[in-house]
Amino acid sequence: KSINNGSFTWSSPSNIALVKYWGKKKDQIPENPSISFTLDNCKTTTKLSFSKKDNQNEFSFDVFLDDEKKDDFKSKIETFFKRIEAYLPFLKDYHFKIETSNTFPHSSGIASSASGMSALALCLMSVEKELSEAISDTLFIQKASFLARLGSGSACRSLEGDLVVWGNHAEIDGSSDLYGVKYPFEVHQNFKNYNDTILLVDKGEKQVSSTVGHNLMYGHPFAAQRFDQAAENLSNIKSILKTGDLDAFIALVESEALTLHAMMMTSMPYFILMKPNTMEIINKIWAFREATNSKVCFTLDAGANVHVLYPENETEEVQGFIKTELAIYCQKGEYINDKVGFGAKLI
C-alpha cells in the first residue's frame, strides 16, 4: 500500500522488575530472564505523525517533549532507527514527527526509556500495519515488543500486563530473549492490583546510564552466579505467585533489588547508587514490617529511588505510613502512588 501521511498515538506504561535484568549480550539479548509488574499511572503518550518524503537516503524526524523541540533526543532515536531498519523497511520513506509527554515529572529519576521506547515502537508498528498485509493482534504486540527491546531492553516488558516475562526460561512456555510475553501461569488474588508507590529520593540525572551498567557485567567476578541466580529466582517466583505466599515474595523481591546494587558495588569501576535516604527508607520499611505484620516491601532500579510494593488490602495503612514516615526522605516530599496496570493503549 502507499500512504502519503497520517498519525498514530499510543500511551504505554513504565514497569518495575521483580527479578532484574542486568547484563546483556550483543543485539540487546539479555544475559538472564526477568519478570516485571506493568505499572498504571506512570506512562508516556507518544503521537507519531508521518509524511512521505522524496529523499530516501537517510532518516528524517523531529522529537518534541511536552511541545518543546528536543534535539538532544535525536541521537538516541537515530540509534534506535538504525537497529530496527531491517524490520521496518518504510523508515526512510517518511519524515516523522514524534511528540511525546510523560505523566511523571521531568527528571524525577524515573526512567522514561521503558514507557517511551514501547510507545514509539507501537506507533511504528501501527504504521507498518497500515502499510502491509493484515497482522494478528498477537503478532502485532510481539513485533512491537521485539522493536521496543531494541530501543531499551526493559521496554519490551511494558506493552501488556499485569506481569511480563522477558528472556528464555525452560519453565515458562513461550518465553523468549527477543520479546516480552505475558506471564502464562495462575496468579493468586494476593497479587491482583498490587500497589507500587515510587519514592523520589533523587531526582537528578542517572549517575550511571543503563548501557554503562549492563556493560559492567562483562568480566564481572560474580556474573555467572548472578545470571544463574536470576533464572532460579524466576523458577521460584512461579510457586510464590501461585500460592500467594507474601513472605516468600518479599524475600525474593528485596534480595533481587539488593543483588542488583551489589553487582554495581562489586564491578570495576564500582558504584554506590543508593543515597543515605534510600537506606533510611529501607530501614523504616523493615521496622514497620516488624511492628505491624504488614507485607510491605521495597525494590530498587539502578538508582536511589525506592519502589514500595504492597498488597491491595493494605493500601490505606501503608499509604498512611508513607505519608507520615517516608515522605520526609523524598526530594521535596514527592512520591507517586501507582499500581499494577494492564499495558499500552491505542488512543
Minimum gap (Å) between residue 226 Cβ and ligand PMV: 12
In the complex, minimum distance from the CB of residue 139 to ligand PMV, in angstroms, rounded to a whole number:
23
Question: From the CB of 343, what's the least distance to ligand PMV, in Å?
Answer: 16
Residue 107 has what DSSP assignment?
T
Beta bridge partners of 47: 9, 99
| In contact, 30 and 23? CB cutoff 8 Å | yes
Q: Which three cell numbers stand for residue 244?
A: 500467594
| Smallest separation (angstroms) from ligand PMV to the CB of 2 | 36
Beta pairing partners, 231: none
- In terms of CB distance, is 49 or 118 closer to ligand PMV? 118
DSSP for residue 217: T
CA distances (Å), origin 263, targets 16, 108, 226, 299, 323: 18, 24, 8, 15, 31
Rounded to a whole number of angstroms, the minimum distance from the CB of residue 57 to ligand PMV is: 30
Cis amide bond preceding 162, omega within 30:
yes
**Between 122 and 127, CB nearer to ligand PMV:** 122
Q: How far is the CB of 211 from ligand PMV (least distance, A)?
A: 7
CB 124 within 8 A of CB 146: no
Where on the chain is the footprint of ligand PMV (CB under 6 A)? Answer: 17, 20-22, 34, 111, 113, 152-154, 210, 260, 301-302
> Toward ligand PMV, which CB reaches closer, 129 or 182?
182
Residue (167 or 311) nearer to ligand PMV, CB: 167
Residue 24 or 47: the one with the smaller Cβ distance to ligand PMV is 24
DSSP line for 264-289: HHTSSS------HHHHHHHHHHHHHH
Cell 554495581 belongs to 264
Closer to ligand PMV by Cβ: residue 20 or 43? 20
Select from 313, 307, 314, 203 the least CA-distant residue to 254: 307
